[in-house]
């Protein structure tokens, strides 16, 4: 029994027993991107390439952006509508408000519960949510790392933070390795590195994004997650645009080479005819000299 128990929890021994909701979401989005978004974007690129000159550059940019945006918009909309709400969104509080205002709103909600105007399960959610923000240390941890960060070991934290970048580095490599899409690598990997720098700044030095004044109920960690959700749109759009333009450029170069080849053949035939005429004139001149 002791051996079975020891063998049953190897992940716990390694400290990798927990994937937080953020890491699970990243994994689900990556699988969806590979199984749904990538094939459809590839098909759309082929259609644009087949249309050739009938498609303008503006249409290529718009279609290449709209298709992954619509496809990724489906799980994003589902996550926003049915996913777990943030503490501030649940309590209808703003991060820019003072703790005094938060306490007043909490007291108002508690009064509703005490008067029987709020169900017990709703009050339990409200009370648990408020626990994350009433203490300065817990609020800072929640805002920049998430609700379960305090329960994770260092190894689990590294796994959950790095999982997105490991998965998408492999996906981006596979997308940009072909010659047709290789030019997109500098764009997608630049965006990828910028997203990594943004997340490192948020989690390690508690960087506050400048959008705080507009999205007052959104935490810095949620801004990072929005970056994770929107990055695939940018990546697939950049790959599609570069692929279409590369094929069009190759076709244009091929047509130019064919035209130059025809011109060279025509010039060669003209030179041959001129050479033949010169040889004929030279032969006639030699015959005339012999007769004299």
Q: What is the pLDDT of residues 77-126, one digit of tens each?
A: 999 888 878 889 888 899 888 888 998 999 999 999 998 889 998 899 88
| Residue pLDDT, tens place only, 25-66 | 999 999 999 999 999 999 998 888 888 777 788 888 899 999
| Domain assignment present for 6 | no
Query: Residues 141-166: what's their mean pLDDT?
Result: 86
pTM of the entire structure?
Answer: 0.77
Measure the N-to-C terminal CA separation of the chain; round to a whole number of Å: 124
For residue 209, pLDDT beyond 80: yes
| Domain assignment present for 109 | no
Query: Residues 126-140: what's their mean pLDDT?
Result: 87
Q: Give me the pLDDT at residue 2, please.
A: 40
Q: Give me the pLDDT at residue 289, please.
A: 57
Q: Counting Cβ atoms within 10 Å, is residue 17 exposed (0-12), middle (13-18) or buried (19+)?
A: middle
| Domain assignment present for 4 | no
Q: Give me the pLDDT at residue 266, please.
A: 60
Cα–Cα distance for residue pair 281/31, rounded to 1 Å: 78
| Domain assignment present for 172 | yes
Percent share of the chain, pLDDT over 70: 79
| Domain assignment present for 279 | no
Q: Give me the pLDDT at residue 13, please.
A: 39
For residue 253, pLDDT beyond 60: no
Residue 79: give the domain boundaries: 23-84+152-256
Cα–Cα distance for residue pair 47/43, rounded to 1 Å: 6
Q: Counting Cβ atoms within 10 Å, is residue 112 exposed (0-12), middle (13-18) or buried (19+)?
A: middle
| Domain assignment present for 102 | no
User: Number of structural domains, the chain?
Assistant: 1
What torsion do the CA atoms of 234, 238, 239, 240 make, to the nearest 10 degrees? Answer: 100
| Domain assignment present for 95 | no
Q: Give me the pLDDT at residue 39, please.
A: 95
Q: Give me the pLDDT at residue 168, please.
A: 96
> Using N-to-C axis directions, what is the helix angle for 57-82 and 38-51, rounded to 10°?
160
| Domain assignment present for 90 | no
Label each residue of the chain as H, E or C: CHHHHHHHCHHHHHCCCCCCHHHHHHHHHHHHHHHHHHHHHHHHHHHHHHHHHHCCHHHHHHHHHHHHHHHHHHHHHHHHHHCCCCHHHHHCCCCCCCHHHHHHHHHHHHHHHHCCCCCHHHHHHHHHHHHCCCCHHHHHHHHHHCCCHHHCCHHHHHHHHHHHHHHHHHHHHHHHCCHHHHHHHHHHHHHHHHHHHHHHHHHHHCCCCHHHHCCCCCCHHHHHHHHHHHHHHHHHHHHHHHHHHHHHHHHHHHHHHHHHHHHHHHHHHHHHHHHHHHHHHHHHHHHHHHHC
Give the confidence band of 19 by pLDDT, cuts at 50, 70, 90: confident
């Amino acid at each position: 029994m002791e051996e079975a128990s020891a063998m049953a929890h190897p992940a716990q021994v390694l400290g990798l027993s927990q994937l937080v909701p953020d890491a699970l979401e990243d994994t689900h989005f990556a699988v969806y991107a590979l199984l749904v978004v990538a094939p459809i974007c590839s098909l759309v690129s082929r259609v644009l390439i087949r249309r050739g000159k009938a498609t303008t550059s503006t249409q290529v940019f718009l279609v290449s952006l709209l298709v992954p945006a619509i496809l990724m918009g489906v799980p994003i909309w589902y996550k926003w509508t049915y996913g777990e709400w943030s503490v501030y969104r649940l309590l209808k509080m703003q991060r820019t408000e003072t703790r005094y205002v938060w306490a007043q709103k909490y007291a108002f909600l508690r009064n509703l519960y005490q008067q029987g105007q709020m169900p017990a399960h709703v009050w339990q959610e409200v009370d648990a949510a408020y626990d994350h923000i009433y203490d300065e240390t817990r609020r800072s941890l929640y805002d920049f790392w998430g609700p379960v960060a305090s329960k994770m070991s260092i190894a689990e934290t590294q796994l959950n933070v790095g999982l997105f970048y490991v998965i998408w580095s492999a996906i981006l490599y596979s997308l940009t390795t072909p010659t047709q899409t290789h030019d997109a690598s500098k764009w997608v990997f630049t965006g990828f590195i910028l997203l990594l720098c943004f997340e490192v700044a948020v989690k390690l030095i508690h960087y506050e994004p400048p959008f705080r004044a507009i999205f007052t109920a959104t935490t810095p960690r949620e801004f990072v997650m929005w970056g994770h959700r929107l990055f695939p749109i940018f990546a697939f759009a950049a790959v599609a645009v570069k692929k279409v333009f590369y094929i069009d450029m190759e076709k244009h170069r091929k047509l130019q080479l064919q035209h130059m080849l025809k011109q060279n053949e025509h010039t060669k035939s003209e030179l041959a005819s001129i050479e033949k005429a010169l040889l004929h004139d030279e032969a006639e001149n030699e015959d005339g000299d012999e007769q004299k």
